[in-house]
Structure 1
Amino acid sequence: MAKEGVEDWRRRKQDIEANNRKVQVYGRNQTFEETRWKNLRVGDLVKVYKDEYFPADLFLVSSSYEDGICYVETSNLDGETNLKVKHALDVTASIHDESSFQNFKAVIKCEDPNDDLYAFVGTLCHGRQYPLSVQQILLRDSKLQNTDYIYGVVIFTGHDTKVMQNTTDPPSKRSKIERKMDKIIYILFSTLIMMSSVGSVFFGIETKNDIHDGKLTRWYLDQTIFINQDQDMYFEETDKPARARTSNLNEELGQVDTILSDKTGTLTCNSMEFVKCSIAGIAYGRGLTEVERALAKKKGGGPPEVGDTSFDAEGSNAELVDTGRSIKGFNFQDERIMNGQWVKQTHSNVIQKFFRVLALCHTAIPDVNQDTGEISYEAESPDEAAFVIAARELGFEFYERTQTSISLHELDRESTTQAKFKLEAKEI
């Protein structure tokens, strides 16, 4: 009971801390002023900056991008660390100046509060009705990323937000038998307390000299602390240690002998590499896959070394050259198409189209480091990121995306392609 009390106190402390966070709210004097999360009301216009959490369920009005898009991390909601793209309506995306909000009048009609994180039904009435979807909704406890700021209107607050709707306990329904069982349990519990107290007294009398004689050593382990400080569970790449959110089931950890997973990311560690490809019936790439390494080990030999041509589809005797540069997501080696050599191939036009498709057909987000100019990518899946990185390393660099276009550096030449339609992976 003491442990449960401590955990309840910690959760209460976290709730107070969250409710007292501050956010910019548009006031009557036509400027944004700081206010606490707990003081937000439905209809308030707020401004959220990069790397901040959304204080309530918001309707996305506009963002720092001209086309009204923003990028959101929802790891606190669904466990997904990949960024998701949200789009503002065209009618509101152009509103960026604080003075413009004073003259903009609209009414939002939406569904009642519910726990569905992936659906939203509503309309924006501004002259005519504009349908709203989950693409215009920013959920509480999700985080703004790769976007300088957004403007949003509060739709749901407090226990009406979707994240709170998912944590609300269902109403208790109890039968007469259950109520009678409660009385029996109370009697048994009282008897157990009495027997334990008597037993503890006699046990203390019998073993009072054991501790002094060194015969008995007791260890009381707070497993939560051990989990949080376990260096083997620290992920250096994102600077995130393990975090035990509750200790209710810690005593069960030692009893686990089988783990069943229905998510490929759990098995692959969300690590994907571009190793090989087949273009116009020709296999390119001599990097070794895990399957080939396992097959070579099963046959009794070690994995082929760099320079071994036994896996070369073309029979080329050229050895692989170690570039000395390790690129996450890219484990491709083939001098026939690297460093621009693909232009000398018979099917160079097909190769060009292949890597152009890899650079264009995706939902990845470019993030340019302002200091170094290097481009990194945030993608909805690690395999999608590996495709974009491979295209970049082979001369087709994706560097900018808007709501309607994608821009590339293709062989030192800039090109822009219009994006007519986005086919979501779940729709295929």
Structure 2
Amino acid sequence: MDSSANGLRSLQEESNRILILGNSETNGSDNSVCTSKYSILTFFPKALREQFRRVGNVYFLTIGVIMFIGQYTDAWNSSISPWTTLGPLGIVISVSLVQEGYADVARHRNDKKTNTHPCILLKCAEDLDKSDKKRVRDESVFNGKDIEISLDIHQRSEDESNLPLPKAYTTSVSIDVKNEKTKTVKLAFERVQRKDIYAGDIVLMKSRDMVPADIILLATSNQGGSAYIETSSIDGETNLKLRSSPQIPNDELNLLQQTETLEQAAKRLAGLTLLGYPSGVNAAENPLNNYRETEVEREESYRRISSKSSTFKGMFASSKRSMAYGGSINRKKSKDVDTETYVASLLSEPPNPNVNNYTGKLTLPPGKDGDPSITIPLNNDNILLRGAVLRNTEWAIGVACFTGDDTKLVLNSFTTPSKFSNLDKLMNKTVYVIFFVMIVLISLMAIGAVVTNSNRFDEFWYFGLNKNTTQVWPYLPDLPPPEWETGTENFVQQMFLFITLLNNFVPLSLYVTVEIVTFCMMYFINSDRDMYHAKTDTPASAKSTIVTDLGRVSYIFSDKTGTLTRNVMRFKRCSVDGLAFGAPIEKKSPKATQEKEEEKSKEGDGNISSEAFHPLKQLLVGTVSIPSLETREAESNVEVILPGEKTLTFNAEMFLRVMSLCHTVVV
């Protein structure tokens, strides 16, 4: 996932998108999302670079290189083997790489789980059968069976299309002589992985499903094509939001019934998209769209033509739209235009991270031949954003508008950062101070060594220093003369020598200990039974290596509803016209309440408890039934109570109705 300097994904200037409903834009972005930091090829280079953000690791690597050069070359002397530093450093970095790799593997698993989640697409059954790849129908929809749809094919014969028109009609009358045919198309519900959704695909979602991409709503099971979504994963709000299908004008197209079945909605959409007409043409390219006039202009044109020719008033009344164009449409139409079938298209804004606004235009095929296409504006109420959850809606169908990295959720997300704990920052500052003190001491020691060697060179024969190479050992004249060194190291060589001697100023064991402690803390978090959610079988998961910062937390800022509380409301008491119903609430400690209950149990059944009478229960479930009108007249308003009979009273029903319509909740 690419990101700009500020952490957000950089956006290129793009123009508006044009999508044909039912046509998968496979050349565009797929619907896969990647939150992992590394791949197999980039893990070692990137992870090693992250390890050397620690000043201590850079320090020990530098010391190891200095020791290595001093040990295996003549540039300077090294008093310690380089492997005493490079070996432990390699172990520390290896442990850190294992931790980083373990955390990134968890991200890869989550990405795979998200990208391979099953989704349902509406596809032409013929395309599934002809495909070389194995494509599976979803068994949860109509038991995996296809839907047969009968579609009309309008085709004008060549002879009839060239019929000459009378002079009186050539400029004002539209005559269409057509042969109507029907064809049968099978519609299938294909099960695909979420990553295989492309812009233009028609997606079927069910209740409690996560919206797999940014989708323009087209049909739902609710009345009026509305749907409810929960956007807690997007904006943190738990209240449901209402989204609606595009509203089709009544005067342009006959509206369907208020509530559709899934089969009806699928058939309707197939007749408007490439699912039913694979060779259809974009409805936005209808040449008659250029001659669309406003209602005022059409009315003026109609009145002007009607005043000139009263003979054709009845024809004008039945074909008002054709008359409004003054015959210009007939002159512009050609045989090719008549034989084309138009399908719905979507003109959408380019991908952007604004989750509160959306602008687009849905173009539907004309309601009848000779009409321009139907244009419906779209706004934020018509789009379902990726990450939202469908609620209180049995099913919903929509067209994928933005997929994968183009979705608004991904555009608002940050790349997975390489977090640096406060403990690491503190150790870096400490290393800087120690290194500064070390350089000062090494400089003083190197200066002292150079001055001492130059002033007392002849006295250091026991170091093997002597300007006379033929001189024998002092006090041992019988031994052959050794290979005397006639010079000493300069200041730079002395500096590197003392660096190797004092390299333990920065303790390598500190980093080893921190890595071991971090690894153990992650293990204990993952194994903690107190952080295990049994209902969803979800244990705690430490996905970051900065768990050491948990001990430095002083304040926690959090919302209350649904986070610190369960967001479950339970009835305690209610007050109706000043009369309180329900058990009294005692504001005492749990211990005092328990002691009181124990005392009541010891008192026995002889005492009458103050909580024995429940007026609300008596009100809701009464022992008096309401007799019919005939029974009342026969019994002279005398009510008969049968033993053990409990029915819902009229007062209880009205009480519940009033309380559900008009109430105030105090938490």
Residue 33 (structure 1) aligns with? 190
1:137 to 2:383 alignment = yes
- For 1:47 and 1:201, the matched residues in 2 are separated by 61
Cα offset, 1:163, TM superposition: 1.3
- Map residues 17-28 of structure 1 onto 2, 5 A cutoff: 17-28=113-124
Match of 1:284 among 581, 593, 597: 581
Partner of 1:88 in structure 2? Answer: 245
Aligned to 1:214: none
Return closer, same or farther for 1:20/1:270 CA change in 2, 3 Å cut-off. closer
Does residue 150 (structure 1) correspond to residue 396 (structure 2)? The answer is yes
Which residue does the alignment assign to 2:216? 59
Q: d(CA) in 2 for partners of 1:301 and 1:65? A: 48
| 2:268 partner letter | S
Q: Where do residues 183-194 of structure 1 align in structure 2 (5 Å cutoff)?
A: none
Give the structure-1-normalised TM-score: 0.55
Name the residue aligned to 1:422: none
* Equivalent position amino acid for 1:162 in 2: K
Identity of aligned residues (%): 29
Q: 1:50 to 1:226 in 2, by over 3 A?
A: farther
**Change beyond 3 A, Cα 1:272–1:249:** farther
Q: In the alignment, which of 111, 135, 156 is matched to residue 15 of structure 1?
A: 111
* Cα distance, 1:7 vs structure 2: 2.8
**Aligned Cα root-mean-square deviation (Å):** 4.9
State the distance in 1 between where 2:660 and 2:362 align: 35
Distance 1:239 1:202, change over 3 A: closer
Residue segments in structure 1 that go unaligned for 5+ positions in a row: 171-183, 205-217, 309-316, 323-331, 363-382, 388-428
Q: How many residues align structurally?
A: 310
Matches within 5 A, 1:24-423: 24-28=120-124, 29=126, 30-65=187-222, 67-79=224-236, 84-89=241-246, 91=248, 94=260, 96-97=262-263, 98-104=266-272, 105-126=343-364, 128-145=374-391, 147-168=393-414, 198-199=503-504, 221-236=519-534, 238-239=535-536, 241=538, 243-244=540-541, 246-288=543-585, 292-293=587-588, 319-321=610-612, 334-335=616-617, 337-340=619-622, 355-360=656-661
* CA deviation profile, 1:116-167 (whole Å, cap 9, x unmatched): 4444444434455445444432222333455443211001111121210121
Q: How far does the alpha carbon of each residue in 1:288-340 deviate from its partner, in whole angstroms, 9 at most, with x for none?
A: 26xx235x98xx887865999xxxxxxxx874349xxxxxxxxx974553424
Check the 8 A contact 1:124/1:130 in 2, yes or no: yes
Q: Deviations over 1:377-400 (max 9, x none)?
A: xxxxxx98x99xxxxxxxxxxxxx
Distance 2:398 2:625 in 1: 49
Residue type of the alignment partner of 1:102 = A
Q: Distance in 2 between matches of 1:340 and 1:117?
A: 52
Counterpart secondary structure, 2:575: strand
Alpha-carbon deviation of 1:42? 1.7
Q: Which moved more, 1:85-94 or 1:35-44?
A: 85-94
Task: Give the match's secondary structure for 1:33.
Answer: strand
Letter in 2 for 1:339: V
Instruction: State whether residues 357 and 379 of structure 2, in contact with CA within 8 Å, keep that contact through their aligned partners in structure 1.
Output: yes
Contact 2:205–2:395 (CA under 8 A) maintained in structure 1: yes
SS of the residue corresponding to residue 262 of structure 2 reads: coil
- TM-score, normalised by the number of residues in structure 2: 0.38
- The amino acid that maps onto 2:621 is N
Change over 3 Å in CA distance of 1:350–1:333 after alignment to 2: closer
**Equivalent residue of 1:48, what SS?**
strand
CA distance in 1, matches of 2:401, 2:363: 15
Cα deviation, residue 66, structure 1: 5.5
Specify the SS of the correspondent of 1:27. strand
Contact 1:307 1:320 in 2 (8 A): no
Distance 1:361 1:135 in 2: 28
Gaps of 5+ in 2: 1-50, 52-96, 127-186, 249-255, 273-342, 365-372, 417-427, 437-498, 510-515, 601-607, 627-648
Q: Which amino acid aligns with 2:196?
A: N
Higher helix proportion: 2
Aligned residue type for 1:42: A
Q: How far did 1:276 drift? A: 1.5
Tell me, in whole angstroms, the C-alpha distance in 2 between the residues paired with 1:122 and 1:257: 47
Bigger strand share = 1
Alignment match, 2:639: none
> Does the 8 Å contact 2:528/2:540 carry over to 1?
no
Q: Per-residue CA shift, 1:191-217, capped at 9, x if unaligned? A: 89x99x95499878xxxxxxxxxxxxx
Compute the displacement of 1:353 (Å).
5.5
Deviations along 1:349-403, whole A, 9 cap, x unmatched? 99866632443579xxxxxxxxxxxxxxxxxxxx98x99xxxxxxxxxxxxxxxx
Instruction: Tell me how far apart the structure 2 counterparts of residues 107 and 117 of structure 1 sit (CA, whole Å).
Output: 23
